[in-house]
């Protein structure tokens, strides 16, 4: 007898047909169904609706699961044997009728966030090991029509670039095989717009995020049926897994969300779910910090750090982070070619040690943070001399070296390496419990395949075991240091994923701090990640990556749309620039709860190339909002669209106040009130140029408006 499994959230419904002896089948996923509509659902036609198709008995079709049994059989059948529903979690157990192999499908519902998490557990009951060759976390059929895909590509210093395209017949594969980081070149998150090219605040959209820190593969197969078939998984390339007798393999979770409020609607669901259930300290305001990297690079010294601390404190900042270059005894860290692994203070640079830095931070009334890169080493290091067997390298071959010509990756599959990486944080925090913040970097991919710890038979486990080891280590750190703030940096934005964020408070969006390019990167990042997790810093010009010169106000206005910080040498700033930053930090503290916890509404995309980009955050009560408007190019006699706002209460009246104002005269809307209906249906006319005194004019224009209900 078939049983209908219905998963409801506040605004969505997923329906599966579960019958013992058959594959569970998707019937519906979309807007919330009434009881009547649920009872009269039409059965889908001309599609393969299997929830977890296995390979071998319909070979031409794409499968979610494939394996080689202990006797060499390449085929598997998975049929329902049990259904269990407890609270928010539904378990559907599938078994092969000929082999003691079982797969359990999990579905976990988050009501208010309109989120459904799904994952699988694969158990081997055979007498000998079996080989898993495909092990997707989920499979989801999506009805054909005018379906568009939004996904994210890029590279170092150009992360999270948005691309939007129709899904066409054939196969679309989005993947990453970096080994240590996974979000530089592609992201493990996608959105499907079901009504044509995605719109920000209207239209039916499905969002999917694979919550994993390692190599991934997202695949969309479109064949001669009426459906697209979406699969999300650990990347199976060179990762066949030998599942031992009695062992269970758990796949990463996939978070699914559906919204009728467009792309931004799905984003808001992910942000709420992420802040509440995933991100470390997602309910806690983030501090405004100064990071030393672009200010001094490796030129760390006690006096210089004290000066930078005093400067950020004088501007209202709350935290100073000392970046790379502070460590090494036998091999002092002067450039990027030595010392990783030797986490002892370089006494020549810091004669008073970290104790002195903490003393100075306390003197200035701010907190102190520090940079580490614990998963890595250099061949020029005491660690490597003592433990060459701890690095990842191909058997019988010399290691492939990375950054600085000497960098290597430690083998996180090795429990001794996990203990060592844990000890780096543990030793720092035990000796210096006043450390408030750790910037955790990872600057090298896995370039050569080989583990000196895993057996030769299990070398294909390397990519998977690396991230199991990383997760185990992060869990240990969080168990002992639950209040520590930790940033995930990985050559910039290499670890923007929901796999690591339960153990990290934020991530570094990109090493590229250029304000104009950051608009594009932060726009794409915001599809799945909330502002509170996006470190966004004011930096010097010409920018250190692209050498563009942008106005200080513009840099401020872009950085304020994320977690505000600074990446600059304050002693090189003019008094005017310091005053602007001092005022911006003060004003950001006022809007911090709105930006970091509010609902995001993207309004005009920079990717639409209309000369501007705009978005806004609205608090839950719809009483306060912050509106951002940035020009992306400047021409004489230009014509820009008027921006309609979103997310406000149509019946409330909002008073307008411009933040970070540099104009000699306020805008004509300053201090005036407008109805939410007017702002959303009509919008405000924004002057195309900032108008400071003549000598300070430039070709960069931006506005930040605070709207407060009366």
Q: What is the pLDDT of residues 16-29, one digit of tens each?
A: 999 999 999 999 99
Contact (Cβ atoms closer than 8 angstroms) between residue 269 and residue 257: yes
Q: What is the pLDDT of residues 332-376, one digit of tens each?
A: 999 999 999 999 999 999 999 999 999 999 999 999 999 999 999
Q: Is 155 exposed, middle or buried (0-12, 13-18, 19+ CB in 10 A)?
A: exposed
Side-chain half-sphere CA neighbours of 494 within 13 A: 20
Mean pLDDT of the chain: 98
Q: How far apart are CA 534 and CA 539, in angstroms?
A: 15
Q: What is the pLDDT of residues 59-86, one digit of tens each?
A: 999 999 999 999 999 999 999 999 999 9
How many distinct helices (H) and strands (E) make up the chain? 12, 35
Average pLDDT over residues 192-200: 98
pLDDT confidence of residue 710: 96
Please state, as a whole number, how many other Cβ atoms lie within 10 Å of the Cβ of residue 682: 13
Q: What confidence tier does 437 reach under pLDDT thresholds 50, 70, 90?
A: very high
Q: What is the pLDDT of residues 261-278, one digit of tens each?
A: 999 999 999 999 999 999
| Phi–psi pair at 510, nearest 5 degrees | -165, 150
Average pLDDT over residues 239-258: 98
Average pLDDT over residues 29-45: 97
Residue 121 has pLDDT above 90, yes or no: yes
pLDDT confidence of residue 616: 99
Q: What confidence tier does 329 reach under pLDDT thresholds 50, 70, 90?
A: very high
Q: What is the DSSP string of 187-244?
A: -SEEEEETTSS--SSSB-EEEEEEE-SS-EEEEEEE-SSSEEEEEEEE--TT--EEE-
Beta strands in 238-355 (DSSP E): 241-243, 248-250, 253-259, 289-291, 319-322
Q: What confidence tier does 404 reach under pLDDT thresholds 50, 70, 90?
A: very high
32: alpha, beta or left? (left if phi > 0; alpha if psi -120 to 50) = beta
Q: What is the pLDDT of residues 596-638, one digit of tens each?
A: 999 999 999 999 999 999 999 999 999 999 999 999 999 999 9
* Packing angle, helices 353-364 and 302-314, rounded to 10: 20
pLDDT confidence of residue 223: 97
Q: How far apart are CA 619 and CA 599, in angstroms?
A: 6
Q: What is the pLDDT of residues 455-514, one digit of tens each?
A: 999 999 999 999 999 999 999 999 999 999 999 999 999 999 999 999 999 999 999 999
Where do we find the tokens 């020009």? 631
Pairing status of strand 485-488 against strand 437-440: parallel
Q: How far apart are CA 52 and CA 76, in angstroms?
A: 11
User: Which domains are present in the chain?
Assistant: 3-278 (2.70.98.60), 289-597 (3.20.20.70), 602-709 (2.60.40.1180)
Contact (Cβ atoms closer than 8 angstroms) between residue 401 and residue 352: no
Q: How far apart are CA 129 and CA 379, in angstroms?
A: 37
Q: How far apart are CA 499 and CA 314, in angstroms?
A: 37
Radius of gyration of the chain (CA): 26
Query: And the tokens for 678?
Result: 């007017």
pLDDT confidence of residue 655: 98
pLDDT confidence of residue 265: 98
Q: How far apart are CA 537 and CA 292, in angstroms?
A: 11
**Long-range pairs, 196-200, Cβ under 8 A, ≥24:** 196/146, 196/148, 197/148, 197/164, 197/166, 198/148, 198/150, 198/164, 198/262, 198/263, 199/262, 199/263, 200/262, 200/263, 200/264, 200/601, 200/602, 200/603, 200/605, 200/646
Contact (Cβ atoms closer than 8 angstroms) between residue 101 and residue 124: yes
Pairing status of strand 115-124 against strand 253-259: antiparallel
Cis, peptide link before residue 420, omega less than 30° from 0? no
* Packing angle, helices 575-597 and 552-559, rounded to 10: 20
**At 294, is the secondary structure helix, strand, or coil?**
helix
Sign of CA dihedral 577, 515, 271, 12: positive
Sign of CA dihedral 271, 273, 274, 279: positive
**Which residues have CB under 8 Å from 301's CB, separation 6+?**
349, 350
Contact (Cβ atoms closer than 8 angstroms) between residue 700 and residue 634: yes
Average pLDDT over residues 193-212: 98
Q: How far apart are CA 434 and CA 362, in angstroms?
A: 10
Alpha helices in 365-431 (DSSP H): 382-386, 415-431
Which residues make beta-bridge pairs with 410? 391
CA 699 remoteness from chain centre: 32
pLDDT confidence of residue 1: 77
**At 517, is the secondary structure helix, strand, or coil?**
helix
């Amino acid at each position: 007898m078939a049983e209908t499994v219905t998963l409801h959230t506040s605004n969505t419904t997923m329906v599966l047909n579960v019958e013992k002896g058959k594959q569970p089948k998707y019937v519906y996923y979309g807007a919330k169904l009434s009881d009547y509509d649920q009872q009269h659902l039409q059965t889908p036609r001309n599609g393969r609706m299997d929830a977890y198709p296995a390979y071998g008995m319909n070979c031409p079709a794409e499968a979610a699961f494939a394996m080689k049994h202990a006797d060499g059989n390449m085929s598997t059948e998975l049929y329902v044997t049990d259904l269990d529903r407890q609270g928010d979690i539904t378990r559907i157990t599938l078994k092969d009728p000929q082999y003691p192999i079982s797969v359990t499908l999990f579905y976990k519902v988050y009501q208010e966030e309109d989120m459904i998490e799904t994952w699988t557990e694969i158990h081997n009951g055979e007498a000998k090991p079996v080989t898993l060759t495909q092990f997707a976390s989920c499979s989801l059929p999506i009805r054909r029509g005018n379906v568009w895909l939004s996904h994210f590509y890029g590279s170092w210093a150009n992360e999270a670039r948005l691309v939007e395209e129709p899904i066409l017949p054939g196969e679309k594969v989005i993947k990453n095989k970096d080994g240590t980081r996974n979000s530089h070149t592609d992201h493990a998150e996608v959105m499907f717009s079901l009504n044509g090219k995605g719109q920000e605040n209207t239209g039916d959209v499905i969002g999917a995020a694979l919550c994993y820190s390692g190599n991934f593969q997202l695949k969309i197969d479109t064949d001669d049926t009426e459906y697209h078939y979406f699969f999300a998984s650990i990347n199976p390339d060179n990762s066949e897994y030998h599942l031992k007798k009695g062992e269970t393999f758990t796949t990463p979770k996939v978070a699914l969300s559906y919204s009728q409020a467009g792309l931004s609607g799905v984003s808001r669901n992910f942000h709420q779910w992420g802040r509440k259930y995933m991100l470390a300290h997602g309910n806690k305001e983030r501090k405004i910090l100064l990071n030393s990297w672009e200010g001094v690079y490796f030129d760390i010294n006690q006096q210089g750090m004290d000066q930078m601390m005093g400067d950020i404190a004088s501007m209202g900042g709350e935290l100073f982070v000392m970046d790379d270059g502070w460590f090494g005894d036998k091999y002092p860290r002067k450039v990027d070619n030595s010392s990783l692994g030797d986490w002892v203070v370089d006494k020549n640079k810091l004669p008073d040690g970290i104790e002195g830095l903490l003393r100075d931070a306390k003197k200035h009334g701010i907190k102190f943070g520090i940079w580490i890169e614990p998963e890595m080493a250099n061949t020029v290091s005491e660690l490597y001399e003592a433990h060459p067997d701890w690095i990842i390298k191909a058997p019988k071959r010399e290691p492939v070296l990375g950054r600085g010509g000497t960098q290597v990756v430690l083998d996180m599959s090795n429990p001794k390496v996990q203990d060592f990486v844990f000890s780096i944080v543990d030793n720092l925090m035990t000796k210096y419990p006043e450390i408030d913040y750790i910037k955790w970097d990872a600057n090298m991919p896995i370039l050569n395949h080989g583990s000196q710890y895993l057996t030769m038979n299990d070398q294909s486990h390397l990519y998977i075991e690396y991230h199991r080891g990383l997760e185990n280590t992060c869990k240990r750190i969080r168990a002992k240091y639950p209040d520590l703030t930790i940033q995930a940096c990985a050559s910039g934005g290499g670890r923007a994923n929901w796999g690591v964020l339960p153990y990290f408070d934020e991530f570094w969006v990109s090493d590229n701090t250029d304000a104009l390019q950051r608009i594009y990167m932060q726009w794409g990042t915001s599809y799945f990640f909330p502002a509170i997790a996006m470190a966004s810093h004011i930096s010097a010009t010409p920018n250190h990556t692209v050498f563009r010169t942008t106005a200080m106000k513009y840099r401020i206005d872009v950085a304020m749309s994320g977690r505000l910080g600074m990446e600059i040498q304050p002693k090189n700033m003019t008094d005017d620039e310091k005053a602007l930053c001092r005022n911006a930090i003060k004003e950001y503290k006022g809007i911090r709860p709105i930006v970091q916890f509010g609902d995001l509404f993207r309004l005009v995309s920079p990717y639409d190339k209309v000369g501007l980009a705009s978005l806004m955050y609205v608090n839950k009560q719809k009483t306060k909002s912050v509106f951002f408007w940035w020009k992306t190019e400047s021409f004489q006699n230009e014509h820009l669209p008027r921006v309609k706002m979103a997310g406000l209460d149509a019946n409330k009246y909002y008073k307008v106040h411009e933040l970070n104002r540099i104009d000699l005269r306020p805008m004509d809307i300053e201090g005036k009130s407008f109805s939410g209906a007017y702002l959303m249906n009509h919008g405000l006319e924004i002057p195309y140029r900032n108008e400071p005194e003549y000598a300070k004019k430039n070709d960069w224009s931006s506005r930040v408006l605070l709207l407060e209900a009366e």
